[in-house]
Homo-oligomer: A and B are copies of this chain.
Protein backbone atom coordinates (compact mmCIF):
# COMPACT_ATOMS: atom_id res chain seq x y z
CA UNK A 1 0.00 0.00 0.00
CA UNK A 2 1.31 3.43 -0.92
CA UNK A 3 0.61 6.46 1.22
CA UNK A 4 1.08 10.09 0.26
CA UNK A 5 1.56 12.28 3.27
CA UNK A 6 2.98 15.52 4.47
CA UNK A 7 2.53 18.62 6.53
CA UNK A 8 2.89 22.38 6.47
CA UNK A 9 4.02 23.92 9.73
CA UNK A 10 4.56 27.58 10.45
CA UNK A 11 6.00 29.50 13.39
CA UNK A 12 6.02 33.17 14.23
CA UNK A 13 9.54 33.61 15.61
CA UNK A 14 9.91 36.39 18.17
CA UNK A 15 13.42 35.66 19.38
CA UNK A 16 16.26 33.24 18.71
CA UNK A 17 14.58 29.85 18.73
CA UNK A 18 15.52 26.22 18.32
CA UNK A 19 12.75 24.03 16.91
CA UNK A 20 13.24 20.28 17.04
CA UNK A 21 10.88 18.35 14.78
CA UNK A 22 10.12 14.66 14.51
CA UNK A 23 7.73 14.69 11.56
CA UNK A 24 9.46 12.50 8.97
CA UNK A 25 8.40 8.87 8.66
CA UNK A 26 10.77 6.24 9.97
CA UNK A 27 12.53 4.19 7.33
CA UNK A 28 12.20 0.45 7.86
CA UNK A 29 12.12 -2.74 5.86
CA UNK A 30 8.34 -2.67 5.84
CA UNK A 31 7.94 1.08 5.57
CA UNK A 32 9.95 2.26 2.61
CA UNK A 33 10.21 5.92 1.73
CA UNK A 34 9.77 6.10 -2.03
CA UNK A 35 10.32 9.84 -2.30
CA UNK A 36 10.50 12.68 0.15
CA UNK A 37 11.05 16.42 0.16
CA UNK A 38 11.56 18.91 2.94
CA UNK A 39 11.71 22.66 2.56
CA UNK A 40 12.52 25.14 5.29
CA UNK A 41 11.81 28.82 4.67
CA UNK A 42 13.36 31.39 4.88
CA UNK A 43 16.06 29.99 2.69
CA UNK A 44 19.40 29.71 4.41
CA UNK A 45 17.88 28.78 7.78
CA UNK A 46 20.42 26.61 9.56
CA UNK A 47 19.18 23.03 10.06
CA UNK A 48 20.65 19.73 11.18
CA UNK A 49 19.15 16.28 11.02
CA UNK A 50 19.89 12.93 12.59
CA UNK A 51 18.36 9.53 13.20
CA UNK A 52 18.48 7.90 16.63
CA UNK A 53 19.76 4.34 16.13
CA UNK A 54 17.80 2.73 18.96
CA UNK A 55 14.41 4.09 17.89
CA UNK A 56 14.72 5.04 14.26
CA UNK A 57 13.25 8.46 15.12
CA UNK A 58 14.35 11.12 12.65
CA UNK A 59 14.96 14.58 14.05
CA UNK A 60 15.33 17.96 12.42
CA UNK A 61 16.80 20.83 14.45
CA UNK A 62 16.11 24.28 13.06
CA UNK A 63 17.82 27.43 14.27
CA UNK A 64 15.43 30.28 13.66
CA UNK A 65 15.88 34.00 14.05
CA UNK A 66 13.14 36.58 14.48
CA UNK A 67 11.79 38.03 11.28
CA UNK A 68 9.96 36.23 8.53
CA UNK A 69 7.59 33.39 9.46
CA UNK A 70 9.40 30.07 9.75
CA UNK A 71 7.79 27.58 7.37
CA UNK A 72 8.40 23.87 7.11
CA UNK A 73 6.96 21.93 4.20
CA UNK A 74 7.34 18.18 4.22
CA UNK A 75 5.92 15.60 1.86
CA UNK A 76 6.67 11.99 1.16
CA UNK A 77 5.39 8.87 -0.47
CA UNK A 78 5.74 5.74 1.58
CA UNK A 79 5.18 2.10 0.73
CA UNK A 80 3.82 -0.05 3.52
CA UNK A 81 4.03 -3.78 3.76
CA UNK A 82 2.67 -4.41 7.24
CA UNK A 83 2.83 -7.81 8.81
CA UNK A 84 -0.75 -8.89 9.46
CA UNK A 85 -1.61 -12.12 11.22
CA UNK A 86 -4.40 -13.79 13.10
CA UNK A 87 -4.47 -12.24 16.61
CA UNK A 88 -4.87 -15.68 18.14
CA UNK A 89 -1.28 -16.42 17.16
CA UNK A 90 0.06 -13.47 19.14
CA UNK A 91 0.94 -14.48 22.69
CA UNK A 92 2.31 -12.80 25.78
CA UNK A 93 5.94 -13.07 26.86
CA UNK A 94 6.59 -13.29 30.61
CA UNK A 95 9.16 -10.88 32.14
CA UNK A 96 11.50 -13.82 32.58
CA UNK A 97 11.69 -14.27 28.81
CA UNK A 98 11.51 -10.71 27.56
CA UNK A 99 14.54 -9.55 25.58
CA UNK A 100 16.54 -6.88 27.43
CA UNK A 101 15.52 -4.22 24.91
CA UNK A 102 11.84 -4.68 25.77
CA UNK A 103 12.24 -4.40 29.54
CA UNK A 104 12.42 -0.57 29.70
CA UNK A 105 8.93 -0.50 28.23
CA UNK A 106 7.61 -2.08 31.42
CA UNK A 107 8.74 0.95 33.42
CA UNK A 108 6.35 3.76 34.26
CA UNK A 109 6.90 7.01 32.38
CA UNK A 110 5.87 10.65 32.65
CA UNK A 111 2.40 10.29 31.19
CA UNK A 112 1.90 6.55 31.80
CA UNK A 113 1.97 6.02 35.57
CA UNK A 114 1.64 2.25 35.43
CA UNK A 115 3.09 2.04 38.94
CA UNK A 116 -0.13 3.59 40.26
CA UNK A 117 -2.48 1.28 38.36
CA UNK A 118 -1.27 -2.20 39.29
CA UNK A 119 -4.27 -3.24 41.32
CA UNK A 120 -6.84 -1.68 39.04
CA UNK A 121 -5.30 -3.27 35.95
CA UNK A 122 -5.18 -6.71 37.49
CA UNK A 123 -8.76 -6.41 38.72
CA UNK A 124 -10.12 -5.31 35.37
CA UNK A 125 -8.11 -7.59 33.07
CA UNK A 126 -7.19 -10.69 35.08
CA UNK A 127 -9.86 -12.70 33.29
CA UNK A 128 -9.04 -11.50 29.78
CA UNK A 129 -7.26 -14.14 27.69
CA UNK A 130 -3.53 -13.34 27.55
CA UNK A 131 -1.88 -12.10 24.38
CA UNK A 132 -3.30 -9.91 21.65
CA UNK A 133 -6.79 -10.43 23.03
CA UNK A 134 -5.85 -8.92 26.39
CA UNK A 135 -4.45 -5.77 24.81
CA UNK A 136 -7.56 -5.58 22.64
CA UNK A 137 -9.60 -5.83 25.84
CA UNK A 138 -7.63 -2.89 27.20
CA UNK A 139 -8.35 -0.88 24.04
CA UNK A 140 -12.05 -1.65 24.29
CA UNK A 141 -12.12 -0.73 27.98
CA UNK A 142 -10.42 2.59 27.28
CA UNK A 143 -12.64 3.28 24.30
CA UNK A 144 -15.77 2.73 26.40
CA UNK A 145 -14.59 4.94 29.27
CA UNK A 146 -12.93 7.84 27.48
CA UNK A 147 -14.84 10.28 25.32
CA UNK A 148 -12.88 11.74 22.41
CA UNK A 149 -13.09 15.45 23.19
CA UNK A 150 -10.75 18.18 22.02
CA UNK A 151 -9.87 20.60 24.78
CA UNK A 152 -10.54 18.12 27.57
CA UNK A 153 -6.84 17.56 28.14
CA UNK A 154 -3.56 19.41 27.78
CA UNK A 155 0.13 18.82 27.24
CA UNK A 156 0.74 17.64 30.84
CA UNK A 157 -2.29 15.33 31.09
CA UNK A 158 -1.40 11.84 32.28
CA UNK A 159 -2.99 8.40 32.03
CA UNK A 160 -4.47 8.53 35.52
CA UNK A 161 -5.92 11.97 34.88
CA UNK A 162 -7.55 10.67 31.71
CA UNK A 163 -8.96 7.69 33.57
CA UNK A 164 -10.55 10.06 36.10
CA UNK A 165 -11.76 12.73 33.68
CA UNK A 166 -13.10 10.25 31.14
CA UNK A 167 -12.21 12.45 28.18
CA UNK A 168 -9.23 13.22 26.00
CA UNK A 169 -7.65 13.06 22.57
CA UNK A 170 -5.62 10.40 20.78
CA UNK A 171 -2.49 10.82 22.91
CA UNK A 172 -4.57 10.38 26.06
CA UNK A 173 -6.12 7.18 24.73
CA UNK A 174 -2.64 5.90 23.95
CA UNK A 175 -1.21 6.89 27.33
CA UNK A 176 -3.94 5.19 29.32
CA UNK A 177 -3.68 2.03 27.22
CA UNK A 178 0.10 1.95 27.56
CA UNK A 179 -0.12 2.41 31.33
CA UNK A 180 -2.58 -0.46 31.67
CA UNK A 181 -0.42 -2.78 29.53
CA UNK A 182 2.67 -2.07 31.59
CA UNK A 183 0.77 -2.55 34.84
CA UNK A 184 -0.02 -6.07 33.58
CA UNK A 185 3.59 -6.80 32.67
CA UNK A 186 3.15 -6.22 28.92
CA UNK A 187 5.81 -3.88 27.45
CA UNK A 188 4.13 -1.00 25.65
CA UNK A 189 5.24 2.18 23.95
CA UNK A 190 3.82 5.30 22.35
CA UNK A 191 3.87 5.79 18.57
CA UNK A 192 3.27 8.99 16.63
CA UNK A 193 1.97 8.50 13.13
CA UNK A 194 0.38 9.72 9.95
CA UNK A 195 -3.08 8.17 9.71
CA UNK A 196 -5.01 8.15 6.45
CA UNK A 197 -8.71 8.47 7.08
CA UNK A 198 -8.45 10.60 10.19
CA UNK A 199 -11.21 13.24 10.32
CA UNK A 200 -10.17 16.03 10.48
CA UNK A 201 -6.70 15.24 9.13
CA UNK A 202 -4.04 15.57 11.83
CA UNK A 203 -1.07 13.77 13.26
CA UNK A 204 -2.18 10.71 15.18
CA UNK A 205 -1.01 8.88 18.30
CA UNK A 206 -1.33 5.14 18.81
CA UNK A 207 0.66 2.56 20.73
CA UNK A 208 2.46 -0.73 20.42
CA UNK A 209 2.56 -3.69 22.76
CA UNK A 210 5.33 -6.29 22.75
CA UNK A 211 3.79 -9.70 22.21
CA UNK A 212 5.22 -12.92 20.87
CA UNK A 213 8.60 -11.33 20.16
CA UNK A 214 7.31 -8.35 18.15
CA UNK A 215 5.76 -4.95 18.62
CA UNK A 216 2.10 -4.88 17.55
CA UNK A 217 0.08 -1.77 16.77
CA UNK A 218 -3.10 -0.79 18.64
CA UNK A 219 -5.35 2.25 18.51
CA UNK A 220 -7.83 2.64 21.34
CA UNK A 221 -9.51 5.55 19.55
CA UNK A 222 -10.52 3.27 16.65
CA UNK A 223 -10.22 6.30 14.40
CA UNK A 224 -7.77 4.99 11.84
CA UNK A 225 -7.00 1.69 10.11
CA UNK A 226 -3.94 0.10 11.68
CA UNK A 227 -2.53 -1.33 8.47
CA UNK A 228 -2.33 2.09 6.84
CA UNK A 229 -0.56 3.86 9.70
CA UNK A 230 2.76 5.44 8.84
CA UNK A 231 5.03 5.46 11.82
CA UNK A 232 6.87 8.68 12.60
CA UNK A 233 8.33 8.36 16.08
CA UNK A 234 8.23 6.11 19.10
CA UNK A 235 9.03 6.55 22.75
CA UNK A 236 7.92 5.72 26.25
CA UNK A 237 5.15 8.31 25.90
CA UNK A 238 4.43 11.66 24.26
CA UNK A 239 7.30 13.24 26.18
CA UNK A 240 9.62 11.16 24.02
CA UNK A 241 7.78 11.32 20.72
CA UNK A 242 6.72 14.92 20.35
CA UNK A 243 6.20 16.25 16.82
CA UNK A 244 7.74 19.57 17.79
CA UNK A 245 9.75 20.91 20.69
CA UNK A 246 10.36 24.63 20.88
CA UNK A 247 13.22 26.19 22.83
CA UNK A 248 13.16 29.93 22.63
CA UNK A 249 10.42 32.31 21.69
CA UNK A 250 8.16 31.22 18.86
CA UNK A 251 4.46 30.59 18.44
CA UNK A 252 2.83 28.09 16.06
CA UNK A 253 1.14 30.03 13.27
CA UNK A 254 0.09 27.30 10.88
CA UNK A 255 -0.44 23.56 10.81
CA UNK A 256 -1.78 21.41 8.05
CA UNK A 257 -1.35 17.65 7.91
CA UNK A 258 -2.41 15.15 5.28
CA UNK A 259 -2.14 11.44 4.55
CA UNK A 260 -3.91 9.55 1.79
CA UNK A 261 -3.86 6.02 0.48
CA UNK A 262 -2.74 6.25 -3.14
CA UNK A 263 -4.91 4.89 -5.95
CA UNK A 264 -8.02 5.44 -3.87
CA UNK A 265 -7.52 2.10 -2.22
CA UNK A 266 -10.26 1.50 0.30
CA UNK A 267 -9.07 1.52 3.84
CA UNK A 268 -10.77 -1.43 5.43
CA UNK A 269 -12.33 -0.47 8.69
CA UNK A 270 -12.32 -3.93 10.20
CA UNK A 271 -8.55 -4.08 10.23
CA UNK A 272 -8.88 -1.65 13.09
CA UNK A 273 -9.87 -4.29 15.56
CA UNK A 274 -9.94 -7.80 14.20
CA UNK A 275 -6.43 -8.32 12.88
CA UNK A 276 -3.04 -8.14 14.56
CA UNK A 277 -0.83 -5.65 12.77
CA UNK A 278 2.90 -5.38 13.30
CA UNK A 279 5.00 -2.79 11.66
CA UNK A 280 8.23 -4.73 11.76
CA UNK A 281 9.96 -1.43 11.44
CA UNK A 282 10.63 -1.32 15.10
CA UNK A 283 14.03 -0.79 16.55
CA UNK A 284 15.07 -2.84 18.29
Contacts and interface: CB of A to CB of B under 8 A. Distances in A.
A157 to B, nearest CB: 11
Interface stretch (A76-84, A93-101, A191-199): A93-101
Contacts of A167: 119
B18 A100 contact: no
A164 interface: yes
Nearest to A239: B107
Contacts of A100: 50, 52, 59
Q: A-side binding surface: helix, strand, loop or mixed?
A: mixed
A63 B96 CA distance: 7
Contacts of A37: none
A20 B103 CA distance: 10
Contact of A109 (B18, B109, B115, B165): B109
Contacts of A248: 95
Contact of A110 (B108, B145, B147): B108
A36 to B, nearest CB: 20
Interface in A135-176: 145, 147, 155-156, 160, 163-167
A123 B147 CA distance: 10
Interface string A170-188: 0000000000000001000
A240 interface: yes
Contacts of A20: 95, 103
Interface string A115-133: 1110110010000000000
A145 to B, nearest CB: 7
Given A18-B95, A115-B155, A164 B163 contact: yes
Contacts of A89: none
Nearest to A246: B95
A95 to B, nearest CB: 4
Given A100-B50, A109-B110, A239-B107, A165 B119 contact: yes
23 contacts: A18-B96, A20-B95, A54-B54, A59-B100, A59-B103, A61-B96, A63-B96, A94-B247, A95-B247, A95-B248, A96-B247, A107-B240, A108-B110, A113-B156, A116-B156, A116-B165, A117-B164, A119-B165, A119-B167, A120-B145, A123-B166, A160-B164, A185-B247
